[in-house]
């Protein structure tokens, strides 16, 4: 495993000449996340976020200001998807980061040359940062698994495999969209508990799930597992991920093969990849396993991963109804909690996934599964917050919610914070619920 390298790009006293970058909640100069953007009438291409602007990487390659690995990374990123750039691995990614950090630093003498390459974020449409080959959703949020399990099995919420196996399942790649894509309320086959027969129509129990997304940089050959000590090297970075869910469809369809149409109508990600390099200052020791929990099998255990496989990351969810927006009432925070509620690390997810020789590829996306805390106010889905619809949430307008209503806007947020480092964030991950098309 690559030990997190903290260098001058993370220096808390490094500031930027780009207006709005210093003090930006998500994108100060210490972040420099990777994405794909376009302006109207132009082709999508790679960019790096800085404050409220985007550095156009295609323009940067033509500037004469890059060379070597940094140039190779920027050239590969001058495409409508970052797959070729991610496939280069950590070296070129880090070289580009260091160079761009220097070019954007306060006092950089290249300022005059770079300024024309900055695109206002307000003028840019964001795209998925990479083409997703396969998408897998895990279930590593142990409090979510416990909360959901206790709805169905009060005496035995966690299944016997949970603390041995990073449980996961395959999701749908074709319906992953960047922040802002509307959520059209799906229709589906459901069966109410008291109904004699199922029916088909707009789903009623529409929910979100607060998750972390993992973008893979490099894959493996079919049949060749990824050892856990190397797993982090295969990761490009992280994102926020909303696994929109139809609970009524899920309850009726999921036996015996798992969730299907309840989950594949839309998955929203924040469009910026916060790179493993940017995360270095925020890595911390995975919390010790509770007394009595089993020791993971050797293929899932790496001491270095335990020392720095967790993250100083706070996750939040906000809801805003149409009426709230009309009255200019600020969104209501539904939850707030640390990502340390992940029972398995990202490296454990990757190593488990490839342990049978399954081929992973550049651009694959992994979801963590819903990240909930153990107590009220930290739960990552309405299913948990409202106790399966039994305890409604009251909004500032007096409206109540058990599940999402048409017009609701749901926003995820995530910020990395630790002492001695400048905080960074993912940017926006939001979607508005639109009425079903019937």
Q: Which active-site residues does the annotation give?
A: 144
For 121-140, b where at least 16 C-beta lie within 10 A, e where not — what string?
Answer: beebebbbbbebbbbbbbbb
- Candidates 113, 125, 204, 252; binder of a second copy (CB under 8 A) is 252
* String marking each residue 290-309 x if it binds a second copy according to CB under 8 A: ----x--xxx----------
DSSP 192: -
Rounded to a whole number of angstroms, the minimum distance from the CB of residue 366 to a second copy is 12
- Candidates 38, 63, 146, 187; binder of a second copy (CB under 8 A) is 187
* String marking each residue 85-124 x if it binds a second copy according to CB under 8 A: ----------------------------------------
- Cα(96)–Cα(275) distance, integer angstroms: 12
- Candidates 39, 111, 172, 415; binder of a second copy (CB under 8 A) is 172
* String marking each residue 203-232 x if it binds a second copy according to CB under 8 A: x---------------x--xxxx-------
Rounded to a whole number of angstroms, the minimum distance from the CB of residue 37 to a second copy is 21
Nearer to a second copy, 97 or 205 (CB): 205
Nearer to a second copy, 107 or 292 (CB): 292
Nearer to a second copy, 14 or 185 (CB): 185
- Candidates 6, 108, 165, 332; binder of a second copy (CB under 8 A) is 165
Nearer to a second copy, 94 or 353 (CB): 353
Helix (H) or strand (E) holding 99: helix 90-104
Query: Is residue 435 near a second copy by the rule CB under 8 A?
Result: no
Give residues with Cβ within 8 angstroms of 290, minimum separation 6: none
Do strands 313-320 and 409-416 pair parallel, antiparallel, or not at all (unpaired)?
A: antiparallel
Query: Is residue 249 near a second copy by the rule CB under 8 A?
Result: yes
Output the CA angle 27-130-187, nearest 5 degrees: 100
The single residue listed with the structure tokens 């995360």 is 279
Query: Is residue 6 near a second copy by the rule CB under 8 A?
Result: no
Rounded to a whole number of angstroms, the minimum distance from the CB of residue 91 to a second copy is 25
Phi, psi of 111 (to 5 degrees): -45, -45
Contact at 8 Å (CB) between 409 and 323? Answer: no
* 36 φ/ψ sector (left φ>0, alpha ψ -120 to 50, else beta): beta
Contact at 8 Å (CB) between 83 and 130? Answer: yes
Tokens of 237: 């970075």
* String marking each residue 145-164 x if it binds a second copy according to CB under 8 A: ----x---------x-x--x
Query: Is residue 15 near a second copy by the rule CB under 8 A?
Result: no
Ranges within 315-374 binding a second copy (CB under 8 A): 352-353, 355-361, 364
Query: Is residue 199 near a second copy by the rule CB under 8 A?
Result: yes
Query: Is residue 186 near a second copy by the rule CB under 8 A?
Result: yes
- Cα(391)–Cα(386) distance, integer angstroms: 4
Nearer to a second copy, 63 or 355 (CB): 355
- Candidates 93, 94, 127, 177; binder of a second copy (CB under 8 A) is 177
Number of other residues whose CB lies within 10 A of the CB of residue 153: 11
- Cα(371)–Cα(317) distance, integer angstroms: 11
Number of other residues whose CB lies within 10 A of the CB of residue 206: 25
Residue 341's alpha-carbon distances to 48, 50, 144, 192, 370, in angstroms, are 30, 30, 9, 33, 10
Rounded to a whole number of angstroms, the minimum distance from the CB of residue 380 to a second copy is 16
Nearer to a second copy, 65 or 140 (CB): 140
Query: Is residue 437 near a second copy by the rule CB under 8 A?
Result: yes
- Cα(221)–Cα(242) distance, integer angstroms: 30
Rounded to a whole number of angstroms, the minimum distance from the CB of residue 245 to a second copy is 11
Nearer to a second copy, 252 or 318 (CB): 252
Is the sign of the CA dihedral 120, 215, 24, 112 positive or negative? negative
For 24-39, b where at least 16 C-beta lie within 10 A, e where not — what string?
Answer: bebbbbbbbbbbbbbe
Residues that bind a second copy (CB under 8 A): 133-134, 136, 139, 149, 159, 161, 164-165, 167-175, 177, 184, 186-189, 191, 197-200, 203, 219, 222-225, 246, 249, 252-261, 264-266, 294, 297-299, 352-353, 355-361, 364, 437
């Amino acid at each position: 495993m690559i030990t997190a390298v903290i260098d001058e790009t993370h220096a808390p006293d490094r500031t930027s000449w780009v207006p709005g970058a210093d003090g930006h909640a998500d994108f100060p100069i210490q972040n420099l996340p990777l994405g794909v953007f376009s302006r109207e009438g132009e082709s999508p291409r790679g960019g790096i976020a800085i404050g409220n602007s985007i550095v156009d990487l295609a323009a940067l390659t033509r500037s004469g200001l890059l060379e070597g690995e940094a140039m190779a990374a920027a050239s590969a990123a001058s495409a409508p998807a970052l797959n070729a750039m991610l496939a280069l691995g950590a070296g070129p990614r880090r070289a580009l980061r260091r160079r761009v950090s220097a070019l954007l630093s306060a006092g950089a003498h290249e300022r005059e040359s770079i300024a024309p390459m900055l695109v206002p974020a307000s003028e840019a449409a964001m795209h998925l940062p990479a083409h997703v080959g396969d998408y897998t959703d895990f279930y590593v949020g142990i409090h979510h698994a416990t909360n959901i399990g206790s709805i169905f099995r009060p005496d035995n919420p966690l299944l016997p495999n949970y603390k041995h196996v990073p449980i996961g399942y395959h999701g749908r790649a074709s319906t992953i969209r960047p922040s802002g894509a509307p959520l059209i309320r799906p229709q589906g086959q459901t069966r109410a508990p008291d109904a004699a027969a199922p029916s088909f129509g707009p789903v009623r129990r529409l929910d979100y799930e607060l998750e972390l997304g993992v973008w893979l940089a490099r894959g493996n050959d079919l049949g060749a597992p990824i050892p856990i000590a190397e797993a982090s090297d295969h990761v490009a970075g992280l994102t926020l991920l909303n696994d929109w869910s139809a609970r009524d469809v899920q309850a009726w369809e999921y036996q015996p093969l798992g969730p299907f149409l309840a989950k594949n109508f839309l998955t929203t990600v924040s469009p910026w990849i916060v790179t493993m390099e940017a995360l270095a200052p925020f890595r911390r020791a995975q919390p010790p396993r509770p007394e009595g929990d089993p020791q993971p099998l050797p293929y899932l255990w790496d001491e270095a991963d335990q020392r720095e496989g967790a993250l100083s990351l706070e996750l939040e969810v906000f809801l805003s109804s149409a009426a709230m927006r009309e009255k200019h009432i600020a969104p209501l925070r539904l939850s707030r909690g640390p990502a340390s509620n992940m029972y398995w690390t990202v490296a454990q997810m990757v190593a488990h996934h490839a342990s049978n020789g399954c081929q992973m590829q550049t651009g694959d996306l992994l979801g963590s599964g819903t990240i909930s805390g153990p107590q009220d106010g930290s739960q990552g889905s309405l299913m948990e917050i409202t106790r399966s619809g039994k305890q409604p949430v009251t909004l500032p307008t007096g409206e109540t919610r058990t599940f999402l209503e048409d017009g609701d806007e749901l926003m995820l947020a995530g910020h990395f914070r630790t002492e001695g480092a400048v905080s960074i964030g993912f940017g926006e991950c939001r979607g508005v619920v639109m009425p079903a098309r019937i």
